[in-house]
Amino acid sequence: MVKITHPSMRKSRDPAAPIAAPKTYIVDDPTEERVDEMPMHDDLDDHLSQFEKPKSPVPQYSDNSAQFPIPEGKPVDKSRTLENLIFMGRATKEVEIMGHKFELSTMTHREHSQVVKMMYSFGDAADLFTIRILTLANALRSVDDVDINEIHIDGEFESDYHRRMSIVDNIQLAIVSKLHDEYEQLVEDSNTLLEDGDEIKKS
């Protein structure tokens, strides 16, 4: 058999020669910690936390920032608004009789309607004495700084208005007459002040 040779050709490996077993090489990673050096127990969480994504810091605004706190809105006190309407234009007066102080005030529209309704409830036309009692039952506010609603009187009554009527009815006639005259003068003065106020606004 003819062999072809050339100087550039390498000598082939002898098929009969044994094949060397492959070798495995281990290269140490300097950035990797050794297993026996890794933290245990509570330190493990701290060790793992360094691989977590860092949290975005909360922005801090300086004093020159355009961020301003918005004040909380205050709820509207509806009861206070109604109270202002009730006492708007209300006139009061203190009358001293025989060493005792009586406080009178003008009535609201509702209180005046209550007086008129009670007047028409009588079969016959109400006389002057009855009108005085009905009026002062709402116009008389206190006696010697004690609210008329807190004055004790025995009996059963249909309403607080009826109870106040009974209180006035037990006061001496001369005092009732004087208080009613003072109340009528108070209403007249109050109306005059309201009319003068309207004239001032119009001028």
CATH code of 109's domain: 3.30.2220
Tell me the CA distances in angstroms from 165 to 107, 143, 159, 187, one per residue in order. Answer: 15, 14, 10, 20
Please indicate, yes or no, if residue 47 is contained in any of the structural domains: no
List the alpha helices (DSSP H) in 88-172: 109-121, 128-139, 160-169
Please write the tens of the pLDDT for every residue from 84-139: 666 676 899 999 999 999 999 999 999 999 999 998 887 666 688 899 999 999 99
Please indicate, yes or no, if residue 151 is contained in any of the structural domains: yes
Q: What is the dihedral of CA 169, 185, 150, 113, to 10 degrees?
A: 80
Q: Which of 165, 120, 162 is nearest to 140 (CA)?
A: 165
Please write the tens of the pLDDT for every residue from 142-201: 999 999 999 999 988 999 999 999 999 999 999 999 999 999 999 999 888 877 765 545
Please indicate, yes or no, if residue 68 is contained in any of the structural domains: no
Q: Which of 194, 181, 3 is nearest to 93 (CA)?
A: 181
Please indicate, yes or no, if residue 163 is contained in any of the structural domains: yes
- How many domains, the chain? 1
Please indicate, yes or no, if residue 127 is contained in any of the structural domains: yes
Range of the domain at 164: 91-202
Please indicate, yes or no, if residue 31 is contained in any of the structural domains: no
> Does the model's pTM come out above 0.85?
no
91, 106 contact by CB (below 8 A): yes
